[in-house]
Amino acid sequence: MSYTLKEMGQRGVPITTFPVIDAHAHFDFNENNEAGIADRLRRMDRTGIAWTIVSTGLSLGAEFKRGNDRAAALVELHPDRFGAYCHVSGNYPDIAPAEIERCFASGLFKGLKLYQTDVDFDDPRFDGIWEVVRKLRIPVLAHTWGDNLTNFDKAARTCPGIPFLAGHAGSAFAYRKYIDAALRTPNLYLDLSYSREHTNMIETMVTAVGANRVVWGSDVATFSMEHQIGKVLFADLTDDVKKQILYSNSAEIFNLKFADFTN
C-alpha cells in the first residue's frame, strides 16, 4: 500500500518515496562521539532523511578552522550520509577567504555557512568572501533572524546565479520581510528551519515566491528533525510540492545526484 506524505507522517513511518535532504543541520563531531553519530543516523533513518549537510558549533567564533575540520571528519566517516558546510566569519576578513579555499580543495564541503556577527553581509569585510564564492560557485546558507536579514539579500545580488539560503525564514513571524527580499532577489531561497510559524506560512511562501525557492532544513540539534519535517508533511500542499521542498530543490542547489544516496 502506498501512502501520501501526510499519511506517512500520521503513521510515523520513514519517507521512502524520495531521499529527503536536510540542508541545515549541526553536529559537533569528535572522535569520542560514536554513540552520538549512531543516534543521529538512527533518527535520520527513522524519519527518512537520506543526507544531511552539517556545520559545527565550534565554528561560530574564532575557532572556525577547527570546527570545519571536525565537520570534514564526520563526512569522511559517512560520506554517503553527510556533507559539510565550511563555516567562516566576516569578523576575520584576513583569513576567511583562504579558509574557504582550503575547505573546498578537500572535496568534502558542499556549501558556505555564515552567522550574524554584527557585521552586515554587504560590509566590505565580506568582499573577499564573496570573491571566493563567485570564483568557486559556492551555495551560501546564512543565519538570519526576525525582520533583519543583515543585508543578506543585498549580498546575494552581488553573486548572481549562486544560491543564497536565508536561514530561519519567517522567524519572529516576520515572514513578509523574507518574501519581499526573495521577490527582489532571484537567487535568494527561503530556508524553513524554525520552531514557530503563522498558520499557512509555508503555503504563503510557496504561493508568493514559488515552490522552487523554498528549501527544508531541520536545524537539528537545536530543533527536532521530526517536528521540523512534520510541518512540511502536514502543510496544505501537493506531494509534488512537498518533494520539491524536501528533496529536489536542495539536490539542484548542491548538485547532488540520486546515486549519492543509499537510503
Q: Give me the helices (H) in 48-191, please.
A: 64-77, 96-105, 127-136, 152-156, 175-184
- Determine the pLDDT at residue 6: 97
- Determine the pLDDT at residue 35: 78
For 164-182, how does the pLDDT look when each residue is reduced to its tens digit (9 = 90+)?
A: 999 999 887 788 999 999 9
Using CB atoms within 10 Å of the CB of residue 259, give its burial: 0 to 12 exposed, 13 to 18 middle, 19+ buried. exposed
- Determine the pLDDT at residue 28: 76
Residue 159, C-beta contacts closer than 8 angstroms, at least 6 positions apart:
130, 133, 134, 140, 187
- Determine the pLDDT at residue 247: 98
- Determine the pLDDT at residue 15: 96
Question: How sure is the predictor about 257, in pLDDT bands with cuts at 50, 70 and 90?
Answer: confident
Residue 217, pLDDT > 70, answer yes
The C-alpha cell that represents 110 in the structure block:
558542499
Question: How sure is the predictor about 31, in pLDDT bands with cuts at 50, 70 and 90?
Answer: low
The mean pLDDT of the chain is 92
- Determine the pLDDT at residue 20: 97
Sheet containing 20-26: which strands, arranged edge to edge? 20-26, 49-55, 82-87, 109-114, 140-143, 164-167, 188-191, 214-215
The C-alpha cell that represents 226 in the structure block:
521530526
CA 149 to chain CA centroid, nearest Å? 16
* First vs last C-alpha separation in the chain: 20
- Determine the pLDDT at residue 170: 82
3-state secondary structure 162-184: CCEEEECCCHHHCHHHHHHHHHH
- Determine the pLDDT at residue 30: 61
Burial profile 68-80: b = 16 or more Cβ within 10 angstroms, e = fewer: bbbbbebbeeeee
Q: Structural domains in the chain?
A: 5-255 (3.20.20.140)
Are the CB atoms for 164 and 154 separated by under 8 Å?
Answer: no
- Determine the pLDDT at residue 61: 76
For 113-141, how does the pLDDT look when each residue is reduced to its tens digit (9 = 90+)?
A: 999 888 999 999 999 999 999 999 999 99
CA distance 52 to 63: 22
Q: What percent of the chain has pLDDT over 90?
A: 78
Question: How sure is the predictor about 263, in pLDDT bands with cuts at 50, 70 and 90?
Answer: very low
Question: How sure is the predictor about 33, in pLDDT bands with cuts at 50, 70 and 90?
Answer: confident
- Determine the pLDDT at residue 173: 77
Question: How sure is the predictor about 259, in pLDDT bands with cuts at 50, 70 and 90?
Answer: low
What's the one-letter identity of residue 259?
Answer: A
Q: What are phi and psi of 100, to 5 degrees?
A: -60, -45
CA distance 169 to 141: 11
- Determine the pLDDT at residue 123: 96
CA distance 243 to 172: 26
Are the CB atoms for 159 and 133 separated by under 8 Å?
Answer: yes
* For residues 148-176, average pLDDT: 92
Question: How sure is the predictor about 40, in pLDDT bands with cuts at 50, 70 and 90?
Answer: very high
* For residues 87-115, average pLDDT: 97
* For residues 234-246, average pLDDT: 98
Residue 32, pLDDT > 70, answer no
Residue 215, pLDDT > 90, answer yes
Helix 96-105 to helix 127-136 angle (10° resolution) is: 20
Using CB atoms within 10 Å of the CB of residue 56, give its burial: 0 to 12 exposed, 13 to 18 middle, 19+ buried. buried
Are the CB atoms for 111 and 135 separated by under 8 Å?
Answer: no
